[in-house]
Amino acid sequence: MALKAFSQEWMDAWLKSIQTSQEYKEIAKEWEGSVSIIVNPDPSKGIPEPIYMWTDYWHGEAKDFHYCDKAKAESANFVMSGEYIRWKQVAKKELDSTKALMQGKLKLKGDLTYVVKHVKTVNKVVDLLAALDTVFPDD
């Protein structure tokens, strides 16, 4: 059964897939910090308001994924923001998230050097997201 993108059920499934991935645990041993994802509104695509998501990681463990408000999202160690279409492309592995940051297709508040240093961790998190059976608002 397909999960609705950006729903709490979708976030819970993504968290569980990370928590149960032995490969992730090995790759992410040195990653620490929270990452918020901000999806800018796009009413024409079914996103009438900004979406603020909180994800938290600590040395190979994924700790907590949930919706949050703008203030909490902006307090994360890493704040990634962008247009809905870019996030959809990332979630479907049509766009590499690190390249998107470097090309300005997604914006980052935080240490890009740290993200690049841990690119395998970032890629594994995206791989696990892309493996979910997801239906997007404009599908």
Q: What is the dihedral of CA 40, 103, 36, 23, to 10 degrees?
A: 130
139 pLDDT exceeds 90? Answer: no
123-135 confidence digits (pLDDT tens): 999 999 999 999 9
Q: How confident is the model at residue 98 (pLDDT cuts 50, 70, 90)?
A: confident
102 pLDDT exceeds 90? Answer: no
Domains of the chain in start order, with CATH, are 3-132 (3.30.1050.10)
What's the pLDDT at 1? 80
14-72 confidence digits (pLDDT tens): 999 999 999 999 999 999 999 999 999 999 999 999 999 999 999 999 999 999 999 99
Q: d(Cα 25, Cα 27) in Å, to the nearest integer?
A: 6
Q: State the pTM of this model.
A: 0.93
